[in-house]
Amino acid sequence: NAWAKEPVLVASFTIGGLAIILPSISPYTKYATMINQVTPYNYPVPVRDNGNMPDVP
């Protein structure tokens, strides 16, 4: 019985295995991916015109 001999190792491997498996079946991952796909990466930035900017409309 591994739990009786090395409880710390069994617990650490169990937590590590859950950390690898759970994100793939978590609904949070699905919704976070959907939100990240529709969120724009570049936002329009207002530019202060100092009179020397012919290329900026």
pLDDT attached to residue 57: 62
Show me where the domains of the chain are located.
Answer: 2-38
Structure confidence by residue, pLDDT tens digits, 36-55: 999 988 878 887 777 777 77
The burial of 27, by beta-carbon neighbours within 10 Å (0-12 exposed, 13-18 middle, 19 or more buried), is given as exposed
Distance, CA of 6 to chain centre: 34
Structure confidence by residue, pLDDT tens digits, 3-20: 899 999 999 999 999 999
pTM higher than 0.85, yes or no?
A: no
Residue 53 contacts residue 47 (beta carbons within 8 Å): yes
Could you give the CA distance from residue 57 to residue 43 in angstroms, rounded to a whole number?
17
Q: What average pLDDT does this structure show over 18-44? A: 90
